[in-house]
Structure 1
Amino acid sequence: MIGGLDQNELVLLKFSKEETKEKLQWEHSKEFEYNGQMYDVVSKEIRGDTIYYRCWWDHEETALNKKLKKLVAGAFDQDEDQQQTHKRLNNFLQSFFISEAFQWRGKLVEISEVSLHSNLPRHWFCSRCLPPPTPPPQFG
């Protein structure tokens, strides 16, 4: 099928021999991925250190590979869009809760000499008294 294609429908890509090792990810001897796009090799010509590939730009397989990568990323929670959605949801839910933990601080109070004869201990801690919310909450 590919051999019968019009030459105008093909893409000419040229690479150095070193670039073919670094930039092309080969599926097999007649198909590779370059810059996230899939290409089927129709012909190959070597001139010095340069290799020319006349290729069919396989848009359908490129789209399939992108969908597959997105599905795999989603399955392993590595999809960036999904991670951003999770972060926004987490921030939204956290806004319903107090972000700083309440820290109780006791205060040491001396009992006067007058109460020394009572059964109370010499020292005790008083908790910090917090006023009620103003205005009070309205229900109804």
Structure 2
Amino acid sequence: METIYTLINTIEIKDMKIILLPVIALIMTSAVQAADKPCSMNDFNGRWTAYQGAVTVNPHTGICHFSVANGLAQGNCDFSNGFAGPFKGEVVVNRNCSVDFEMDFTPVPVVSTFQVQMHKDKKSFVGRWKNNFDVIGVTNAVKR
């Protein structure tokens, strides 16, 4: 009789282990899947390299190296259509990690407005842009 009791206890313990393992796995997965922290300006501060591709009006590509500090971006761009130069612009970072910023190439009368989304690691972004000449394009960047 004692053997049967030991066998039943062993089966119950094994069954409990079998049930507990998936429960523990679910709890751990939900912790990993927890919502990311909201974004702030601090997440966008730093040095970036961005690539642009104009897809309308005047198709061209470009590369820009820039720094962001406390809401101000400044850097230089070089485009395949022959235009190159410095820019400055304001940056707004939203809690959902979307970012709006400008590249103002004054004294050249070109202003590009960007709408981008930071990756959850906050080290890259993708998005779109439009300038005051109705050129529309796509962009992506990495933090250096």
TM surpasses 0.5: no
TM-score interval for Structure 1 and Structure 2 normalised by the shorter chain: under 0.3
Higher relative contact order (CA 8 A, sep 6+): 2
Larger radius of gyration: 1
Structure in which a larger fraction of residues adopt strand: 2
Task: Normalising by structure 2, report the TM-score.
Answer: 0.25
More helix by share: 1
